[in-house]
Every structure is written in C-alpha cells, then in structure tokens.
Structure 1
C-alpha cells in the first residue's frame, strides 16, 4: 500500500498542473475501466469523442487525443509545415521557451520568434518575420502560431484572432492555436470555443485537459483538413499515440459533454481575480499585468519571494525584475487564496517592505 506522500491541505500557486483530478473525471475513468476496448483509438470512447468535439468546434473538426501539450504542438505544427517551412510565434510562446526545442528537434521546423509587449501577436508584428517568400536562403514562413491565453495571461479577442487568420491566409499561411488554457479564455470572454477558433479562421489547435481537471491528456483538433497532412502517422512517430486511448477520450467526454470544462475554468479565473484583489493593496506588491484569466503576475522583494515559496509553491518568471507568477486551478478555494494573501502579508511585514502598491 502506498502511504500518503504529501499534505492534502497544502496548496500552492505554481501551476494548474499541480492540481489533482476532478472527481467527475475520476468517475469517468472508473467507468471506462470496465471490460475491454480496442487499442490505439479504435474504441467506442474515441469514436464518441469526435461527435463531442464537433458540437463545440463544428462539423469538420477532427480530434486526435494525445498525451502532452508539447506532443500536441509538435504533431500539429509538423503536420502543417513542409521540411523547408518556418513557424512565426511570439518570443514568449511556450513552443519557443518551454519545450526544450521539441518543435525544432522533432518536427524539424524553424521557429521565427517576434518580440511582443504583452505576449500577443498582431498582423503588424507578424509582418516582421513574414518576408523572404521565395528566397532559397530563408526558411519559408508557412504557419503562424498564437497562444490563447498567452503565456503572460493576456487574451486575444475573437476579432484579433480573426485579423491574424485573415492576414495569414491572404499570404498562404495557416494558423495554429496553442490552447492549453483555451477553456479559461472562453470563460473569461464569455464566448463559445468555436468563436475563438473555427469562426475566427483558425486551422488547427490544441485543447488542454490536464490544466483543467484531467489526469492526463490533451487534444489536437484539426478544423481544416486541408491544412494538415499525415497527422495520424506523425502522432505515432512522436510517441503520442496512446495504446489505451479510451482513458484519454473518456476524460474529455466527461469534461466537455456536461459543461465541466467551463465551470472549472470560470472558477479558476474567479480565484485569480480574488487573489489579485487580495494582494494588490499590500505594500511591496506590484501586480504588473492585467488579470484576464487564471494567472496573476506580480513583482515582490527577492527575500519575500524566497521565504514565501517555502510556505506556498510558486514560480519566479524573471529573476532580474523579481516578477513571479501565481496560477489558480479548478480546485483552488477562497480559503486557499486568503491564506496565501495572509502569508504574503506576514512575509512583507517581516521584510519591512514599505513600497506603495501599484496595479495596472
């Protein structure tokens, strides 16, 4: 018997990946565990999942369950590019900074990063890397990728995504959306998932599950079948074809059919707003970015950060500026937020912080 290795009452704000599994997802896994099903996606759950995702993304959508977000990005981008192709992304994009070079190492594509003030691309910013078409010396820009919400917690409106897609399509480029937290964006903007994807002109996207209550699993969703090639083969070659795929698919069915995806995301977003409100008035704290989804970015004195991390896990985003990131989850409670804010106040008082609070 495995003994408990942690204090279940201990909650941090490092990542929504730290959260456990939603009880409804556990129940779905238990149901899917009954009897035998065909392997590698030829099961009843994965077949049903196609219809579930089409309800959200449109009749042409095809969903490919995968194991990780990096895997979804690698398979999706590789399926959209040619060997001489390049992908334009924000400099802060997860594919550029947090995937150990996987898109370039595994997918053999060239990333063309663009500096952005808030993590968001625009047609004008994309234009900086969109040149050189037909130049044999340059990797050819063929795909634009955006993250929604961005790695800095900011949101694209449906109109902003549509403008990017129109710009890209006019130049024979396609658009990939990294949607690891797409549910949180839809919840924050109060729009259907297809408003941020299908209706805006996105060609392919990833849809996150692990950050929104699943045990594991992400979804690669192809909206335009003409924008990809060989997706099934590339998924296998990238080690993302789960043999017991029914357990990934069953989780997504439970998440998507009942509206749990939206309830979880709304709750996480609300906890982030509560957290920002609780800490922004504390002397020595600067909330430095708009709180638009389930992330809060702030600057703290370095000694306060070091001590507070021993009490509640969270990450430092920028050692130079002292910027930290706090993430809220589907299972973050108001008591968690209040306890964290109280601990922060104690550490600020211990450090003698007297800086006036500043908010965006």
Structure 2
C-alpha cells in the first residue's frame, strides 16, 4: 500500500519533532514575544532577502489564506483567482467568510493566471461599477493546485498588471518549497512581486504550522489585530515557530521538496510508459494528474493504494502527490502494481 493521497498524510519530519522537544523547556514569553519566533523572523528575512519582512505564525492553511486576504481588503472588493485555486474550491467559503468579499474567477493557462485574464476581469468590473465588486487582490498559488509553476518572468508580468490597476498580490504558498525546488531559483525570486504570502509548513514536514509572511511593509500595520481577531494567534507561539524554524534554518524545507519532486518525476516517467495511461498536466513539482483506465484505478485502490479522483481535470483523472516521506521503493511498488493490473495484460 502506497500513500499518494496528499502530502498532508505524511508524518512530521524528525527534525521538526526534535525542534519541538527542544522548545519544550522551561518558560517562554507568550503570543510571539519569545526568542524562537524572533529567530524565525530573522531567518525568514535572510531566506527571502527582505529586511522588512514580518512573519505571523498560524495553525492551518485555509485560515492563513483567509486572514491574509481579510487584512488587505474590504467587503465590496474582490480577489482574482483561478478556478482550481484552493481558496475557491477547498476552503468551504472561508475566504469569503473572513473577508466578506467575492472571489472572481479569471481564465488561466495550465492553472496559472495570465495578465490578459486579469485585465479582462478588471475591465468588466470597471465597466459595471459600482454594481460589480472591485478587484483588490490577485491570488496566486506556487506551486499551483495542478502542480505547475509560475516562472519568475510570469510573476513579473503579473506584478506589472497589479501595479497598473493598484492591486495587491497574495500568494498561497502551501507548497512553496516544491515551487522553489522546481524553479531552481532562490526563494526570493519564487515570490517575485508578492505583497503577502501564505507560507506553508505542514505539507513540507511540519504539523499545524503555517505563517502569514508580509513582504510589503505597508501591510504590516494592524495585522497583529487581524491575527488575533481571526483566531490564529497562538498563545504558545514558540511551538509553531519552532517547527517552521526547523524547516528553514538549514534549508531543510528545500531538501525535502527536491526529494518529493524527484519522486513525482520518477512516478511520472513510469506511468507515462504504460499503455492507456497519460499525464493530464506536465509534471513540475510533487503532484501528478493522471488519466487512468477505470479498471486500473479500481484495481490499484482495491490493492490498498491511496489517491484521489480529480474531476476538475476531467473524467477518470486522478491526483497522486509525493511527499518528503515517499521512497523509491514505494514508487517502484506502485508502478509494478500498475503493470500487473493494466487492462489487457
């Protein structure tokens, strides 16, 4: 049995557990006034090359997106996103609940927003003002929900559109580590033009550890109130910060992401060689979207393998996600079972 359902199903990385144990010594100041949170902020400033950055640790990804968006917009404004975005499909309306604002769906290419798509949404809103919600935020996902990657050039182009229309850019970075690893650039380049970032730790090897990372210093003021009001201010913040610090202190998050991406690449190569099996989207990070014959999918699931159907990508399409804990032996075992159960064999 191999788990490809989600990187959320993976365990915590041992280094994170060690860091938690080390943080569990004596007393420490609460609500973020502790030494570990200060070290986290200092390290993040180094990682992203931004001396003005401020990080606010949180508990989970959906609320991190929600509080980040709520802090920068008003109820008559709107967030522009793709149809596949997590804030659109997987958060049970939480962003709208937190912000009171709409999400506007723009056309995309391989799960990525385009300047043309954003321009079209802005034009429609302006033509129907004040009856239509006014766009305020462009929300990107890196890597995207279908496993593709925004290049640095694409991010610059979106920043130019944002600047033309006075928009902010939010990035859902639940799998930012995988995006950075896939791009082969610095973390700072992978968030080019971004004002406010939902920084993912849970999928990278932590548990209950995310952060709103504010890259645009103009947005820092009053965020501590949003942090508290939205129920995402940990009283014992050192235990959340310790997890994130363990991941980024020696670039462990990137090492783990390189491994996960490599396992996905190995899996993609093996699946692509099978008759009747095809990749729906190009593999770039740690998630694959694969068209499987129904009989093969049923046989694999009956054998205990865990993966999800993904109807947004088409009929008989399934998502398979690798994590830092995925092994070469697991990939080989899954591919062997695919060959065994392939219809017609």
TM-score by length of 2: 0.95
| Residue 312 in structure 1 maps to residue 305 in structure 2 | yes
Query: How many residues are paired up?
Result: 340
1:6: which partner in 2?
none
Could you tell me which of 253, 262, 266 is aligned with 1:270? 262
1:161 match: secondary structure: helix
Does the 8 Å CA contact 1:85/1:109 hold for their aligned counterparts?
yes
Kindly report which structure 2 residues correspond to 1:39-118, keeping only aligned pairs within 5 A, or say none. Answer: 39-57=30-48, 58-118=50-110
Determine helix, strand or coil for the equivalent of 1:214.
coil
Structure 1 stretch 78-87 or stretch 226-235: which is displaced more? 226-235
Which residue matches 1:342?
336
Deviation at 1:225, TM superposition (A): 2.3
The list of structure 1 runs, each at least 4 consecutive aligned residues, that deviate by more than 2 angstroms after superposition, is 131-134, 227-230
The DSSP-based 3-state class of the residue aligned with 2:99 is coil
**Match of 2:103, SS?**
strand
Q: Secondary structure in 2 aligned to 1:80?
A: coil
Specify the alignment match of 1:161 in structure 2: 155
Is the 1:92–1:119 Cα contact (8 Å) retained in structure 2? yes
Unaligned runs of 5+ in 2: none
Deviation per CA, 1:205-232: give whole Å up to 9, x if none: 1111111111221111001122465322
Contact 1:79–1:229 (CA under 8 A) maintained in structure 2: no
Q: Which residue of 2 aligns with 1:17?
A: 8
Say which SS state the counterpart of residue 47 (structure 1) adopts: helix
Do the aligned partners of 2:57 and 2:210 also contact (CA within 8 Å) in 1?
yes
Return the alpha-carbon distance in structure 1 between the equivalents of residues 140 and 273 of structure 2. 33
3-state SS in 1 of match to 2:30: coil
**CA distance in 1 between partners of 2:69 and 2:306 (Å):** 33
Q: Equivalents in 1 of 2:32, 2:299: separation in Å?
A: 47
Superposed displacement of residue 146, structure 1: 0.6
Gaps of 5+ in 1: 1-9, 354-360
Q: Distance in 1 between matches of 2:227 and 2:293?
A: 45
1:123 aligns to 2:115 (yes or no): yes
TM-score (norm 1): 0.91
Tell me the SS of whatever aligns to 1:210: coil
Distance in 2 between residues matched to 1:112 and 1:128, nearest whole Å: 11
Match of 1:179 among 173, 192, 195: 173
**Deviation readout 1:126-174 (Å, 9 max, x if unpaired):** 1121123381211111111111111111111011001101111121111
> Quick one: distance in 1 between partners of 2:2 and 2:204?
16
User: 1:64·1:221 contact (CA, 8 Å) conserved in 2?
Assistant: yes
